[in-house]
Amino acid sequence: MAHIYTVQYAKTTDGSRRESEFPMAMKIPRMTAGDGAENIVSFEVEQQILPALSGAHVPRYVASGDLSRTPYLVMEYVPGQTLEHWSQAFEETPFKVGEHDMALARMGSALAHAVHSLHKQNVCHLDLKPANVLICPNGHVVLLDYGLSCHAHFPDLLAEELRKAVGSPAWIAPEQVVGVRGDPRSDIFAIGVMLYHLATGELPFGEPSTAGGMRQRLWMDPVPPRKLKPDLPEWLQEVILRCLHPEAAKRYPSAAHLAMDLANPDQIRITERGRQTQGTGFKVHFKRWFKAAGMHYQPSPLPSRQIQEVPILMVALPHEDVSDATWYSLREAVARSLGIRPGARLACVTVISSGDTSSTDSHKSETRVHRTHLTRMQQWAQGLDLQDHQVSFHVLESGDVAQALVRYAQGNEVSMIIMGAATHGLQLQRFVATVPIKVAMDAPCTVILVKQDLPFELLGTAASADDARGAQPLAT
Amino acid sequence: MKLALLSDIHGNLQALQACTAHAQTQGVDRFALLGDLVGYGGNPEAVVEQAMHMAEQGAWVLQGNHDAMAVQPNPLDDSVGASSAVWTHQQLSASQREFLKQLPLTVLQGHMLLVHASAYAPERWHYVDSERAAEMCMDHALQTFDASHVMVGHVHHQTVYYRGAGRKLMRFEPTAGAPLPMPHHRRWVATVGSVGQPRDHNPRAMYTVYDDQAQRMTFHRVLYDHAAAAAAIRQAGLPEFFAQRLERGR
């Protein structure tokens, strides 16, 4: 649909040539007799959207030509292989037992991160497929081809009153089929299709060529991956089928949530969805088919606002010199934030020093030490009403606590860090850069510093006794 | 050219001053006032005085239905809109009334048409408040004026109408502060909102900046002292409802 050339800057009159910081490619729409007007419009859409995008997951925009005279688009040429080629190599690589799925999860997590960075910029890609996903040699993912994308701040040039389906048949999401173009969860559906294909070798909904064929995904669940490949782990099926749910509200609420699950497969809560090998029965499908018949277009709020509604919260739990008041106050603060955001996800993190574990001393082995800390955090979390919130627990090893917390927040798209105002026994001092101050300064997101506060009636009761690690008096 | 489009000021001096100050920070080099300088608001004479001053400096000023009503109030008209016309007429000096009387209904600048209500029968003050009305406006702009971009006021709401992939026009609600591409090869109708009387439950003043070079339009919402504007209305003895609606933005 477009011609692509490598380009460089032209020589100037004095014979010199400007060096570009990075290799460049030029895209020119193909305009032969057989190509429809959609070709030009999708070129125009990409011309509008690419300059508005930034970040490591998008090719850098260089220049573009007037559409009415000489249409062209120059952007960064990113070295790497598309997911199509990557998956061929993936098939052929001999993996050790269990590593095949982990490699797939790693790639999926990198892909979800890339997609989340678009959603934060108010763009839904809406044409994610293996040909548009570029995997760099270091595993980093870059997304290409924004010809069908929708930027919430721009008039959508592909929108029209009949709300036709715009997308590629194998990967298009159910709501896209009825004309919705602003839902970031449509991109999550496409990721699910790609993961399904990589895991099983089959496409979950085939490659329909008719409108009726595309509508099947509005009510039908695909064959469970474990039915096709019984060796697949339950967590992988859980993730894939959650991405492919016909109702957008039942999928992962944001790509950041999906990335986090794929990065921590051992903490995924497995339900019947992950275990089943039989597939969904006729009755459920019929009920959904009935409901889907009335499904129609609804306008979407801004993608950036949608993902703000489903944040990832991180609570930094200390493990030394902790008073029962600190435990209690942290739990109250987390409960409050989770209550305000029903779709939020919680990550409980503690940082231990590398000296705490030893590869020689069996009492300080990494597994044992980690397990002790994980158990303590899980006990702390038992006091929380977690309902439908996803929660996971992580032990980080580092000499610099503040840096470890900030890095974790950056790498996992955390929207809010909740931590004690005076951890590790140090008072909040104005001139000493304590851990909370350093985190507050460097964090990529909101940081809530929680003061210790234990209600008088709970002092010396069973509730506080469970929490206390040695009888610590309340710090003032 | 960076053009600031201010419409439906309705005698609200505070909002006008806030928007012009904001426009200066955006580096605009020309102003356009799309009509309805007076009506409802408490400082019509000050607003008209400022408009006359801006016109001397090169601003384009159009006539709106309330301007026409203030020049020649109709004693038989008892609608809400007409109720402040008599009072406004009395506040204005003879030269200010003359200024309003001779204001044009449309201004054509290259491919861009400015009009208070609609390019379709401008003197009938049709509201561009639906895709159908926008289509009429867009078609007449092309036929009568050969204009591809039409900027209107009158509806006190910020919207953009454009042709998408289908046959009918699509409606787009812009986000304040986000520049919107409006390429020359497409046709557009933009309603720039109201400086002096917002009606979308948001009390901030509305105006728009159109950058002809970059082919982009940015819609703005500007904070202004709506309490002072409401006080001016009460002091003038105008209906309480006109004052309250400024605080509610409705």
pLDDT digits (tens, 9 = 90+) for A203-229: 999 999 888 888 889 888 899 999 999
Q: What is the mean pLDDT of residues B26-43?
A: 95
From A162, which residue of chain B is nearest by alpha-carbon distance?
B166
Which tops the pLDDT comparison, A313 or A90? A313
Contact between residue A386 and residue A355 where contact means Cβ atoms under 8 Å apart: no
CA distance A67 to chain B (A): 8
Q: A with B: how many residue pairs have Cβ under 8 Å apart?
A: 49
Residue A469: pLDDT over 50: no
Interchain contact, B172 vs A68, CB within 8 Å:
no
Q: Token match 């070798």: residue?
A: A201
What is the C-alpha separation between B82 and B68, in angstroms, rounded? 11
What is the C-alpha separation between A100 and B31, in angstroms, rounded? 64
Interchain contact, A164 vs B165, CB within 8 Å:
yes
pLDDT averaged over every residue in chain A: 87
Interchain contact, A162 vs B166, CB within 8 Å:
yes
Same fold, A81-306 and A311-467: no
Interchain contact, A153 vs B162, CB within 8 Å:
no
Secondary structure element (H or E) that encloses residue A134, with its range? strand A133-135
pLDDT at site B141: 95
pLDDT digits (tens, 9 = 90+) for A44-75: 999 999 999 999 999 999 999 988 888 999 99
Q: What is the mean pLDDT of residues A98-109?
A: 92
Instruction: Supply the DSSP string of A369-408, one letter for each residue.
Output: HHHHHHHHHHHHHTTS--TT-EEEEEEEE-S-HHHHHHHH
Q: What is the mean pLDDT of residues A124-128?
A: 97
pLDDT at site A471: 44
CA distance A48 to chain B (A): 7
Residue A462: pLDDT over 60: no
Q: What is the mean pLDDT of residues B19-40?
A: 96
pLDDT at site A458: 63
Secondary structure element (H or E) that encloses residue A190, with its range? helix A184-200
Nearest to A158 among B165, B174, B180 (CB): B165
CA distance B232 to chain A (A): 36
Nearest to A160 among B170, B174, B180 (CB): B170
Please name the fold of domain A2-76.
Phosphorylase Kinase; domain 1 (3.30.200)
CA distance A158 to chain B (A): 5
Task: Map residue B34 onto helix, strand or coil.
Answer: coil
CA distance A163 to chain B (A): 9
Q: Report how many domains make up chain B.
A: 1
Helix axes A184-200, A99-120, angle to 10 degrees: 160
Long-range contacts of A323-326 (CB under 8 A, 24+ apart): A323/A452, A323/A454, A323/A468, A323/A472, A323/A473, A323/A474, A323/A475, A324/A454, A324/A464, A324/A465, A324/A467, A324/A468, A324/A472, A325/A452, A325/A453, A325/A454, A325/A474, A325/A475, A326/A420, A326/A423, A326/A450, A326/A452
CA distance B33 to chain A (A): 25
Nearest to A155 among B131, B170, B184 (CB): B170
**Can you give the C-alpha Rg of chain B in angstroms?**
17
Interchain contact, B170 vs A159, CB within 8 Å:
yes
What is the C-alpha separation between B17 and B7, in angstroms, rounded? 13
Q: Tell me which chain B residues have a C-beta less than 8 angstroms from the C-beta of A156.
A: 164, 170, 172
Nearest to A160 among B165, B183, B185 (CB): B165
Contact between residue B208 and residue B214 where contact means Cβ atoms under 8 Å apart: no
Q: Tell me which chain B residues have a C-beta less than 8 angstroms from the C-beta of A154.
A: 180-181
pLDDT at site A475: 43
Residue A468: pLDDT over 80: no
Q: What is the mean pLDDT of residues A168-177?
A: 93
Interface of A with B (CB under 8 A): 38, 41, 44, 48, 67-68, 152-162, 164, 302
Interchain contact, A153 vs B174, CB within 8 Å:
yes
pLDDT at site A433: 67
pLDDT at site A425: 47
Q: Tell me which chain A residues have a C-beta less than 8 angstroms from the C-beta of B160.
A: 155
Q: Tell me which chain B residues have a C-beta less than 8 angstroms from the C-beta of A297.
A: none
At residue A464 the predicted structure's pLDDT band, cuts being 50, 70 and 90, is: very low
Residue A297: pLDDT over 90: no
**Adjacent-strand bridge partners of A73:** A27, A64
pLDDT digits (tens, 9 = 90+) for A299-338: 788 899 899 889 999 999 988 777 788 888 999 999 999 9
Residue A104: pLDDT over 90: yes
pLDDT at site A287: 81
pLDDT at site A96: 75
CA distance B170 to chain A (A): 7
Q: For residues B174-213, b (16+ Cβ closer than 10 Å) or e, as one string?
A: bbeebbbbbbbebbbbbbbbbbbbbbbeebbbbbbbbbbe
CATH class of the domain comprising A81-306: mainly alpha
Q: Which B residues, 60 through 119, put their C-beta within 8 Å of a C-beta on chain A?
A: none
Q: What is the mean pLDDT of residues B117-131?
A: 95
Q: Tell me which chain A residues have a C-beta less than 8 angstroms from the C-beta of B171.
A: none
pLDDT at site A191: 98
What is the C-alpha separation between B59 and A145, in angstroms, rounded? 43
Residue A456: pLDDT over 80: no
> Which two tokens mark B153?
């006021």
Q: Tell me which chain A residues have a C-beta less than 8 angstroms from the C-beta of B175.
A: 152-153, 302
Proportion of chain A above pLDDT 90, given as a percent = 57
What is the C-alpha separation between A303 and A240, in angstroms, rounded? 22
Instruction: Supply the DSSP string of A24-38, one letter for each residue.
Output: EEEEEE---TT--HH
Residue A21: which of A59, A71, A66 has the closest Cα? A59
pLDDT averaged over every residue in chain B: 94
Specify whether domain A311-467 bears CATH 3.40.50.620.
Answer: yes
At residue B99 the predicted structure's pLDDT band, cuts being 50, 70 and 90, is: very high
CA distance B101 to chain A (A): 37
Residue A94: pLDDT over 80: no
Q: Which B residues, 183 through 222, put their C-beta within 8 Å of a C-beta on chain A?
A: 183-185
Q: Tell me which chain B residues have a C-beta less than 8 angstroms from the C-beta of A162.
A: 166
Range of the domain at B110: 2-248
Nearest to B181 among A48, A160, A161 (CB): A48
Nearest to B180 among A41, A68, A155 (CB): A155
Interchain contact, A159 vs B181, CB within 8 Å:
no
Proportion of chain B above pLDDT 90, given as a percent = 89
Report the CATH number that the domain containing residue B94 is assigned in CATH. Answer: 3.60.21.10
**Taking the domains of chain A in order of start, what are their residue ranges?**
2-76, 81-306, 311-467
Predicted structure pTM score: 0.88
pLDDT at site A474: 44
CA distance B16 to chain A (A): 26
